[in-house]
C-alpha cells in the first residue's frame, strides 16, 4: 500500500510521525502495522491513560490476567507485566523501522507516575522497566519534574534511552536538554559507549492553550490572543533546541557518537472545536522533530492537513505572542507550574484507575 501523501510530505519535512496510542487489539489486528505501511507511522507513545482505556476496553488481556491471578502476582507486578508485554510486541513490530532509522521505530513506556517527585525511585523503576521489556528500540518515559531531571541524567548515564515527558516551559526544557547532555558526559567519563542511546523531549502543546485561554477569558483580554500561545511556546522551544544542539558542548559529544535529543510535540489533539483540528501539526513543522498524534488527529491531517509557516521562520512572531500574553496579565510561570502539577496528577489518577481495574480483574480471574 502507498503512504498517505500528506503524512509522507510531513516525514520528508523532517517530522517523524508517531502514534499516541497502543492496545493489544491494535497490535494483533494488524492495525498498527497498517499505520506503519500507509500513514508513515515510525513510533508509538503510551501513557497510563492510554493503558487504562486499552485494558478496560478489551478481553484480549483475559488469558494473561488469569495466568497472573493463579500465580497470585501483586497488582503492581501484574501491571508491569501486562504493559511491558504490549510494549515489547510493539517494539518487535517496529524493529525494521528502528533498523532503517535509529531513534525512530521506538515505543515509550512510562515509569509509575506516583514516583514523579522521587529521584531514586524513578531511576530504579526506569532501570527495571528497561530490563523487563529488554528491547533496544524502547524509550522509558520520565517526567520533567525537578526530581525527574537527575533521574534522566542517571538513566542516560546507564545507557537507557529516555523520552522526557510533561515539559511545558522553556526554562524546564533547557534543564531537560542539560540533563541529557550531563547523562551523556557521565557515560563517557565512566568509559561507556554512546551507541544506541537516543532521547526525545516531549513538549506539551494543547494543554498550554487550554490553561492560557481560560486565563485570557478571565482577564477580559483581546480574544484574538487565544489559541496562539501553545504553538508560540513550542516554536521558541525549537529555537532553544537549535541553540543547545549547535553549542561546543554538544559538538564534543556528537564527535563521540552522541545522537541529538529531538523535540517531540505532545498533546497535539486539539481540545477547542473552534480551532483547526490539525493546527498543532501544521504549525510545528521543523527538521529533526517528532509529532505524536492521537489517531483521530493523524487521520484529520491525512485528510486535509497542510503545512503552515516553518517553525524556523516564526521565532519573532512567537516571541511577540508570548509577550502579548504576559502583557494581558497572564502569569506564565504560574501557568507552567499548574500544568506540571495537573499533568502528573492526571497520570496518577489514570494509574490508580488502571491499578483498580487490574485488581478487580485479578480477583475475577483467580
pLDDT band per the 50, 70, 90 thresholds, residue 57:
confident
For residue range 315-340, list pLDDT tens digits in order.
999 999 999 999 999 999 999 999 99
- Rounded to whole angstroms, how far apart are CA atoms 29 and 24? 8
Do the bridges between strand 289-293 and strand 15-19 make them parallel or antiparallel, or are there none, so unpaired?
Answer: parallel
CATH topology of domain 5-22+106-348: TIM Barrel (3.20.20)
At what angle are helices 75-100 and 48-56 packed, to 10 degrees? 110
Q: Looking at residue 190, what is its pLDDT?
A: 97
Q: Of the residues 6, 141, 226, 228, which is catalytic?
A: 141
Cell numbers that stand for 323 in this block = 509577550
For residue range 244-259, list pLDDT tens digits in order.
999 999 999 999 999 9
Q: Looking at residue 93, what is its pLDDT?
A: 98
Is residue 56's pLDDT more than 90?
no
Which residues, 6 or more positions from 71, have their beta carbon under 8 angstroms from its beta carbon?
A: none
Size of the chain in residues: 366
Domain borders along the chain are 5-22+106-348
Q: Is 226 annotated in the active site? A: no
Q: What is the 3-state secondary structure (H, E, C) of the chain?
A: CCCCHHHHHHHHCCEEEEECCCCHHHHHCCHHHHHHHHCCEEEECCCHHHHHHHHHCCCCCHHHHHHHHHCCCCHHHHHHHHHHHHHHHHHHHHHHHHHHCECECEEEEECCHHHCCCHHHHHHHHHHHHHHHCCCCEEEEEECCCCHHHHHHHHHHCCCCEEEEEECCHHHHHHHHHHHHHHHHHHHHCCCCCCCCCEEEEEECHHHHHHHHHHHHHHCCCHHHCCCHHHHHHHHHHHHHHHHCCCHHHHHHHCCCCCCEEEEEECCCCCCCCCCCCHHHHCCCCCCEEEEECHHHHHHHHHHCCCCCCHHHCHHHHHHHHHHHHHCCCCHHHHHHHHHHHHHHHHHHHHHHHHHHHHHHHHHHC
For residue range 124-146, list pLDDT tens digits in order.
999 999 999 999 999 999 999 99
Provide the β-strand partners of residue 263: 201
Q: Residues 281, 286, 292, 296: what is their CA dihedral angle, to the nearest 10 degrees?
A: 20
pLDDT band per the 50, 70, 90 thresholds, residue 366:
confident
Torsion-angle region of 166 (φ positive above 0: left; ψ -120 to 50: alpha; else: beta): left
| CA dihedral sign of residues 339, 349, 115, 118 | positive
Report if pTM > 0.75: yes
Amino acid at each position: 500500500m502507498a503512504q498517505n501523501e500528506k503524512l509522507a510530505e510531513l516525514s520528508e519535512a523532517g517530522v517523524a510521525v508517531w502514534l499516541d496510542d497502543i492496545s493489544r487489539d491494535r497490535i494483533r489486528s494488524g492495525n498498527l502495522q497498517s499505520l506503519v505501511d500507509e500513514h508513515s507511522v515510525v513510533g508509538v507513545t503510551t501513557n497510563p491513560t492510554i493503558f487504562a482505556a486499552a485494558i478496560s476496553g478489551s478481553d484480549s488481556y483475559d488469558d494473561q490476567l488469569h495466568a497472573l491471578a493463579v500465580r497470585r502476582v501483586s497488582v503492581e507486578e501484574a501491571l508491569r507485566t501486562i504493559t511491558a508485554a504490549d510494549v515489547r510486541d510493539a517494539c518487535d513490530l517496529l524493529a525494521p523501522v528502528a533498523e532503517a532509522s535509529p531513534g525512530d521505530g521506538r515505543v515509550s513506556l512510562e515509569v509509575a507516575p506516583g514516583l514523579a517527585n522521587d529521584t531514586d525511585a524513578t531511576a530504579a523503576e526506569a532501570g527495571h522497566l528497561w530490563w523487563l521489556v529488554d528491547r533496544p528500540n524502547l524509550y522509558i518515559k520520565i517526567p520533567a519534574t525537578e526530581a525527574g531531571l537527575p533521574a534522566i541524567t542517571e538513566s542516560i548515564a546507564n545507557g537507557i534511552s529516555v523520552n522526557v515527558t510533561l515539559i511545558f516551559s522553556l526554562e524546564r526544557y533547557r534543564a531537560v536538554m542539560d540533563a541529557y547532555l550531563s547523562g551523556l558526559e557521565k557515560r563517557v567519563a565512566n568509559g561507556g559507549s554512546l551507541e544506541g542511546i537516543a532521547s526525545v523531549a516531549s513538549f506539551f502543546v494543547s494543554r498550554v492553550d487550554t490553561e492560557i485561554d481560560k486565563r485570557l477569558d478571565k482577564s477580559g483580554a483581546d480574544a484574538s490572543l487565544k489559541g496562539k500561545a501553545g504553538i508560540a511556546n513550542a516554536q521558541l522551544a525549537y529555537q532553544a533546541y537549535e541553540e543547545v544542539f549547535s553549542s561546543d558542548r554538544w559538538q564534543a559529544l556528537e564527535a563521540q557518537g552522541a545522537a541529538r535529543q529531538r523535540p517531540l510535540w505532545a498533546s497535539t489533539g486539539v481540545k477547542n472545536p473552534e480551532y483547526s483540528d490539525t493546527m498543532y501539526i501544521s504549525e510545528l513543522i521543523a527538521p529533526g522533530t517528532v509529532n505524536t498524534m492521537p489517531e483521530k488527529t493523524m487521520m484529520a491531517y491525512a485528510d486535509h492537513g497542510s503545512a503552515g509557516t516553518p517553525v524556523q521562520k516564526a521565532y519573532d512572531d512567537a516571541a511577540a505572542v508570548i509577550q502579548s500574553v504576559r502583557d494581558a496579565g497572564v502569569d506564565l510561570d504560574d501557568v507552567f507550574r499548574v500544568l506540571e502539577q495537573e499533568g502528573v496528577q492526571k497520570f496518577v489518577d489514570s494509574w490508580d484507575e488502571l491499578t483498580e481495574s487490574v485488581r478487580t480483574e485479578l480477583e475475577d480471574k483467580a
